[in-house]
Structure 1
């Protein structure tokens, strides 16, 4: 279910953006016309219920036109905390809250770069944006800050059957391997119980890369270790493509 949102016109991009929410997420759609068809392009997951603590996003998600910058890419998102979803004594509700939002137009042009061991596509300079189902700290900056000793979790009050971390780019790229460096590990978690797998986005959907191997072999338990690097490679002759 989506509700209580709004449509804002981004003149510089010649696009309408529709913002809405569920009990757990913010949802974003775009269209060249105010009547659609609408294409879903972004979701932000705040985790389990209730939505009305300081951690969660709130409801009534809108982008006030006043706070859209001339470039049509930088803007501020407004949403409120509601007393009915868990807010109560000591919780500030129905405030005017703004979050900075930056939208980068994408291109469908074919990838022109060649896979290179010396190029880190996760670096912010490539336009990479870190993504995850959710993040405990509220920030994914450590995923591409170049420091391999940090640690982040996706603890969000939900029991998940799978956990995912990754990157999106505004342009297509060719990739020859993916390096995963583990964070803090303990008996309570911090490791995958199965082999880490790589997916790529094709036509808006995430699909599994074929014939993957992990080196060194991933144990799937606490012995995976902290701050340990694992390299995932496809045995296919052609490189993995990221859109």
Structure 2
């Protein structure tokens, strides 16, 4: 895939409406590698018999996936442990079966005070038939989960049954103590084709300082930087052989240093999601957290998956060192989340410890499975999210195109193959309601945040000609469900070259009331001069005390 992640990709042109909004309220998707991406609203496949969280994975030469969970029993009914190594056979499509192999002190040490810290797995890799597992000291008890002072790497030469533990922690003083290995596929088979014979003989690892996610009590700084290191693939446990990325030379080639103090981030992201949450909701999360980095070989792209308290974030890069750009923000909202077992509501949740196992990527790289977890109680049930839990991710690579559609009465939101809904949040996990043709059901954008901006729209896999948008309103009241007249009121924008542009000649029939008196099911017809783009959205400021809007249908035409 060519690198099109240039600086031209941006959220929108500057104007009064957008300039008044905290950038964290917008997707801020600045990559141009993908026309769109879709993320399933909740985990949909829970591996039978699994118990625990985190689950970093690797795909070994024997065709098994090896993984380690924190705080659970793994694939067994055996004792609860802070760390369990497991082996998984199969795929989500054919069914997964797992086996517990080793646990806790058999696998890794606790380097700090065991009264204050326990083990947590953060990364796993297989190279030359050898398994390596990165394990950190994570605080528990008082101030639990809020700092990570030490980490090391254990080695297994017999596929996870026994482990060689280092004599001392490899990483200390809160530096590079959340370690995530780059996943180059089965036994790291794609490393040499991707990087060349010399650079491909290294194991690449991404790391965070201070903590594995935002430190909720401020005991250490929140991680806002993603770092990169590498080590020869036959010396992973030799700390002296590690070298850290320190920038690019004048030929844009990576430079490395053996001094950890020289390291510079490959991704710096200080933005905090949910800057203005509703009372009683926790927000202001930093985005850099323990997730995973996958090399998607068919697409020749590196993908980093991470998370916040209410959403999932995805970045891509053409090289391990970048440039890293966000291509998807999946906002599930700050609650209420719905479990897989919920029979009264559509399941909806985000999750932590996000990884994309390379074995579960399809042949062309456009369909993946994301593993993430959600703690729902002290005694998890078999079908909740505290297990090896997967959801689908689908990618549509960007390809330059020209519009070819003719005037017709076809609703492009339903007639174009590969169209994706596009909104800040689908509060009930029903974004498809906007283009299902059913005017008896609706969706809202309620994400428990006091938003200053909202939109509903679509992304297309190719350019489309357009000149009309029909918005069918959903229910509204004093709490929300409607748009205000701020900054001139509603506008329609189309996306071209990854920049959003206001349409010209915009009229609406009937007049939109900009008040909670709007009636559920009312149709508003927005017409504008002929234009084209690979995306369209209706955008404005949400009204009501809870700052959200609602929708029944959104139709797009060129007639």
TM-score by length of 2: 0.39
Instruction: State the shift of 1:24 in Å.
Output: 2.8
**What is the match of residue 81 of structure 1?**
374
In 2 relative to 1, CA 241–72 (structure 1 residues): closer, same or farther, beyond 3 Å?
closer
TM-score by length of 1: 0.85
CA distance, structure 2, for counterparts of residue 202 and residue 125 of structure 1: 17
Instruction: State the shift of 1:228 in Å.
Output: 1.3
The answer to whether the 8 A contact 2:306-2:313 is kept is: yes
The answer to whether the 8 A contact 1:2-1:20 is kept is: yes
Which of 122, 130, 137 pairs up with 2:428?
A: 137
The answer to whether the 8 A contact 2:399-2:462 is kept is: yes
**What is the match of residue 9 of structure 1?**
295
SS in 1 for 2:453: coil
Which of 435, 446, 471 pairs up with 1:180?
A: 471
2:513 corresponds to 1:219? yes
Instruction: State the shift of 1:239 in Å.
Output: 2.1
Instruction: State the shift of 1:88 in Å.
Output: 4.9
2:300 corresponds to 1:34? no
CA distance, structure 2, for counterparts of residue 70 and residue 16 of structure 1: 16
Instruction: State the shift of 1:30 in Å.
Output: 2.1
The answer to whether the 8 A contact 1:137-1:152 is kept is: yes
**What RMSD over aligned residues (CA atoms) do the two structures have, in Å?**
2.5
CA distance, structure 1, for counterparts of residue 349 and residue 332 of structure 2: 5
Instruction: State the shift of 1:138 in Å.
Output: 1.5
**What is the match of residue 200 of structure 1?**
494
Q: Which has the higher strand share?
A: 2
**What is the match of residue 191 of structure 1?**
482
Instruction: State the shift of 1:218 in Å.
Output: 0.4
Q: Name stretches of at least 5 consecutive residues in structure 2 with no aligned partner.
A: 1-286, 340-347, 536-559
Instruction: State the shift of 1:200 in Å.
Output: 1.8
Stretches (4+) displaced over 4 A? 52-55, 87-94
Deviations 1:187-243 (A, max 9, x none): 443222234321222332333323422111101113321111111122x4x424335
2:522 corresponds to 1:228? yes
The answer to whether the 8 A contact 2:503-2:531 is kept is: no
Deviations 1:119-142 (A, max 9, x none): 211016432101211112213121
**What is the match of residue 111 of structure 1?**
403
Count of paired positions: 235
CA distance, structure 2, for counterparts of residue 209 and residue 147 of structure 1: 27
The answer to whether the 8 A contact 1:124-1:144 is kept is: no
Instruction: State the shift of 1:17 in Å.
Output: 1.7
SS in 2 for 1:122: helix
Instruction: State the shift of 1:80 in Å.
Output: 1.5
CA distance, structure 1, for counterparts of residue 440 and residue 499 of structure 2: 31
Q: Which has the larger radius of gyration?
A: 2
**What is the match of residue 148 of structure 1?**
439
Instruction: State the shift of 1:93 in Å.
Output: 6.6
Instruction: State the shift of 1:31 in Å.
Output: 2.5
CA distance, structure 2, for counterparts of residue 217 and residue 190 of structure 1: 17
CA distance, structure 1, for counterparts of residue 484 and residue 309 of structure 2: 29
CA distance, structure 2, for counterparts of residue 100 and residue 124 of structure 1: 23
